[in-house]
Amino acid sequence: MNINPNHLIAPSVLSADFGNLLKDIQMINSSEADWFHVDIMDGVFVPNISFGFPVLEVLKAYAQKPLDVHLMIESPERYIERFAEGGAAVITVHYEACVHLHRVVELIRSTGCKAGVAINPHTPTALLKDILPDLDLALVMSVNPGFGGQKFIPNALNKVRELRAMAERLNPELVIEVDGGIGMANLPDLVMAGADVLVAGNSIFGADSPEQMIADLKFYNHRKA
Ligand code: DX5
Ligand code: ZN
């Protein structure tokens, strides 16, 4: 089992204070966080609309860590180039939103970005088998996408284990990301199951000290007993 000893933390900008966005961007810059997780929702694929290119421009200008763009939109192929120009390092599309998923993955890679595919809680990991060798990243949704602050769905742990086993055979370099309802209570188990990147919104921005919470999530296994 290839368990990542240095998991990455990706705070979800969706939970930031948009009245003081620059302050929260600077907090993430100076924290132990690794990536900025950027949730784009179109109100069609998911029952919510988040934000779009103007906010991405602000992130591109001020964020000093890679932008991990999670597209919860129908037919994302329409916007891949714009997100790449907008500063994305990773672009993840949903399995459920793409008829020609292989073509979309190739399009993402042609822009120079890393390509990810996300699966909703009801989508079996087995459906990723044929696309897995072409991916840089697979994202397991541990809530139904659309909103921050939801409860973690425990079956995500099984899905991470399954994907890690599939990746051992088909794509050992695959990065496995998990998104939704993650905090100190479940992050250690997810890392043990084989997760590399952990997204967290509410647990970070709802904490008394978001910066300290990021450090806790990052270094939970370095603490003294
Ligand atoms: C949910 C989004 C998540 C969300 C995570 O649709 O994709 O990235 O912002 O937020 P929490 O950690 O609060 O569940
Ligand atoms: Zn997300």
Burial of 48 (0-12, 13-18, 19+ CB in 10 A): middle
- Active-site positions read 39, 179
Neighbouring C-alpha atoms within 13 Å toward the C-beta of 49: 5
**Ligand 1 pocket check for 182: Cβ under 6 Å:** yes
- pTM of the full structure: 0.97
Instruction: For ligand 1, atom 6, name the residue with the nearest CA.
Output: 145
Amino acid letter for position 48: N
Tens-digit pLDDT profile for residues 168-204: 999 999 999 999 999 999 999 999 999 999 999 999 9
- Total Cβ atoms within 10 A of residue 153: 17
- Which numeric CATH code is attached to 8-224? 3.20.20.70
Low-confidence ranges of the chain (pLDDT < 50): 1, 224-225
Say yes or no: CB of residue 96 within 6 Å of ligand 1: no
The pLDDT value recorded for residue 3 is 57
The whole-number pLDDT of residue 199 equals 99
Pocket of ligand 1 contains residue 143 by CB under 6 Å: yes
Which numbered atom of ligand 1 lies nearest the CA of 204?
12
